[in-house]
Amino acid sequence: MNIVQENIDGLNAILKVEIEENDYAGKVSSFLKKQQKTAQMQGFRPGKVPFGMIKKMYGVNAKVEEIQKAVNARLFKFIEEEKIAKSFFEEDIIKNPENIINYYLNGSLFDDNKNISVIKNCSDKILEIINKIKNNINNNVIILNSEILLKNSKLRQFGEYDKLAICIPCYQETKFDIKKFLTQQIQINNVQLSDSQSEVIVNSSSLKRSKIKEVMEKLNLYKNSGKITDQIVEEICTDVDLKKNDEIVDILLSKNEKNINEFISNMSNYEKNFIEIIIILRSFIIKILDIQKNNKNLSIDERIEGHKPPIFWKDKDRIKNILKIWSANNLEKFLSNLNIIETEFKRNDLSQDTQFYYFLTQNLSKISLKNTNNFI
């Protein structure tokens, strides 16, 4: 595998990766042989499915995964060797703080080389380590990347008030922004996708450009193998994160008090911050309301089939079920309350946990399950 860096200007560069079959073929073959030992298929004894059939079933996905692993590993090594930037996660730094502390404390005051370190998923916990090294970073740069920080966050206050730090707010992108970005990526990569496939990709992205790029990288490996089908898009997009998104929507809009209360009690298992949950719910509710309120002369099936952008096939039954138990008035009221609670999160320093638990309890867990067939 070969990597070539083409500098565009002082801040931007393109890394071109050339990969050969021998960079991944061995690991693909090993994976398929392992699958063959445990595969079960009608007409064959366990472990006796022909290798050719195993390759047909799992070959493309295995190839995609191994190419990604090989490219990622080589890229990280290249970045380390060329001193482009060093990337860490907060949890790794906290477990082994000596590496980064010794690196900066032992650095020479006369070292002209500028090193850039990026620490991801930062919280207030990282400050203990940053305070030990902040006066010794000399010519170097440390970028602390974080999710939403409230006003009372010590990390946010450090960024805003410490003379050695700069705080750069990055605001949550909208669905419109991500759709526009996906359209650009489709044109750049010359990939042919239907409107419904594009909608699936956007909905699976959690409104993050990095996830759009990740999906496009995988689709690039398929585009020369024929038409990109709905199944391929679904397999690429249906990761754990997307499954959790669907599960959150289905539970919170189910009007099943037991399931909703269980969700409230176990929200940490879903690994979502509250703003993400609001975005997921709002996007789905807006789609439902559009179906409920438009083309009332048509049946629900006709409205769903004719909806623009097209609704992905696996979401159609889910939407029908929610349409049966929610009226347009109740959904509009719930949507309005979602917008209010999001504003409250951004405006004050009260515990998001407390606010959101209270919001769900008041809006969902005590909903009457009677008179549900009033969706038109």
Contact (Cβ atoms closer than 8 angstroms) between residue 330 and residue 250: no
* Distance (Å, whole) CA 83 – CA 64: 28
pLDDT tens for 30-53 read 888 888 887 776 677 878 888 888
Higher per-residue pLDDT: 370 or 120: 120
* Distance (Å, whole) CA 242 – CA 41: 28
82: its two tokens: 């060329």
Where do the H-state alpha helices sit in 83-174? 90-95, 97-105, 127-133, 154-161
pLDDT band, residue 183 (cuts 50/70/90): very high
**What pLDDT does 279 receive?**
77
**What pLDDT does 126 receive?**
92
217: its two tokens: 């990288």
**What pLDDT does 375 receive?**
31
The predicted model gives 143-164 an average pLDDT of 87
**What pLDDT does 155 receive?**
92
Higher per-residue pLDDT: 259 or 11: 259
Higher per-residue pLDDT: 310 or 83: 310
The predicted model gives 283-308 an average pLDDT of 86
Would you say the C-alpha torsion 19, 117, 112, 8 has a positive or negative sign? positive
pLDDT at 68 over 80: no
pLDDT at 163 over 60: yes
pLDDT tens for 242-289 read 557 778 888 888 888 788 777 777 766 665 667 777 877 888 888 889
The predicted model gives 45-62 an average pLDDT of 79
Neighbours of 142 (CB within 10 A): 20
Contact (Cβ atoms closer than 8 angstroms) between residue 292 and residue 300: no
**What pLDDT does 232 receive?**
82
157: its two tokens: 């206050």
pLDDT at 56 over 70: yes
Q: Which of 125, 135, 70 is nearest to 94 (CA)?
A: 125
* Distance (Å, whole) CA 202 – CA 279: 12
261: its two tokens: 């209360």
* Distance (Å, whole) CA 247 – CA 101: 42
pLDDT at 371 over 50: no
Higher per-residue pLDDT: 203 or 244: 203
Entry field: residues in the chain: 376
Task: Identify the burial level of 118 via C-beta atoms within 10 angstroms of its C-beta, where 0-12 means exposed, 13-18 middle and 19 or more buried.
Answer: middle
Give me the DSSP letters along 192-237: ---HHHHHHHHHHTTT-HHHHHHHHHHHHTTGGGS---HHHHHHHH
Contact (Cβ atoms closer than 8 angstroms) between residue 239 and residue 211: no
Measure the CA angle with vertex 61, ends 60 and 64; round to 5°. 85
What backbone phi and psi angles, to 5 degrees, belong to 228?
A: -80, 115
Q: Which of 334, 332, 358, 333 is nearest to 345 (CA)?
A: 358
The predicted model gives 302-309 an average pLDDT of 83
**What pLDDT does 145 receive?**
86
Give me the DSSP letters along 252-295: HTS--HHHHHHHHHTGGGG---HHHHHHHHHHHHHHHHHHHHS-
Percent of the chain surpassing pLDDT 70: 80
pLDDT at 121 over 60: yes
